[in-house]
Structures are given as C-alpha cells and as structure tokens.
Amino acid sequence: MIDSNSILLFVTDAQKSASFYARLLGQDPVEASPTFAMFILPSGLALGLWGKAGVEPAPAAAGGGCEVGFKVATADMVDRLHAEWQGKSAAILLPPTDLDFGRSFVAADPDGHRLRVYNVAED
C-alpha cells in the first residue's frame, strides 16, 4: 500500500534549486544533499528536487511541461503571494489574472518548472 505522495522535479543544480524554493516557501528542506533536496508542503505533499545528472533512467523532458499547483484560500492571497514571490526574484510567467476557475498567477523556477498559485472562485 502507498504510504505517502511526492512530486520529484529534475533540476540542473539541486543546491541552487533548494535555495530558490526555501526563499519562496519560507522553509528549509527537510533533507538536503549536493544532488537532492526535499520539502514537505503544508498539505503534507513532499516536493523533491533531484539533480537530473544522477536520475536513472535519464529524464527525457525539461521543465515547463506541467505545473505544480499551490491552492490558497482567497483571491487576495494570490495577489499577496505574487508580490512576495516577485520580490524574491521568481520569474513571473503570468501576473495575477482572473481565469474561468478563479484567480491565479504562474511563476517559474530556475529550471523552467511552472508554479501556479491559484484560488478557486466561489460559485
């Protein structure tokens, strides 16, 4: 039986990526080495950053082909996190925008992985 869930992102430099995510998330990784770092998100999901040079089998795709979603409680929190992440030098791909499902913005990490912060609109 599966015990827990994680998302693994293949990165060029695990230490650089760990520093980036530590700034964005406001927390240190629970595990860190030269080739790997692990964060536990508030939802309990583990976010791993794995240096792609050591991954077997080798990854076939680069970052940007999918998104990691961060759901927040209010549309105002989307705007606040956007300002905060922008101030922490995150590359913003989409500023806060009202979409058909709610308010959202998209940032990118140093490897081009898309990070979507969103709030689902009330019906």
DSSP code, position 29: -
CA 74, 87, 16, 106 dihedral sign is positive
* CATH number for the domain formed by residue range(s) 1-55: 3.30.720.120
| 50 vs 75: CA distance, rounded Å | 32
Q: What pLDDT score does 122 carry?
A: 84
User: Would you state the structure tokens that stand for residue 87, as one six-digit string?
Assistant: 């101030």
Residue 21's pLDDT is 97
The answer on pLDDT for 95 being more than 80 is yes
Q: Give me the amino acid identity at 62.
A: A
Q: Give the residue range(s) of CATH 3.10.180.10 domains in the chain.
A: 63-123
Is the predicted pLDDT of residue 65 greater than 90, yes or no?
A: no
pTM over 0.95: no
Q: 63-123 maps to which CATH number? A: 3.10.180.10
Number of Cα atoms under 13 Å in the Cβ half of residue 114: 13
Instruction: Give residue 51's pLDDT band: very low, low, confident or very high (50, 70, 90).
Output: very high
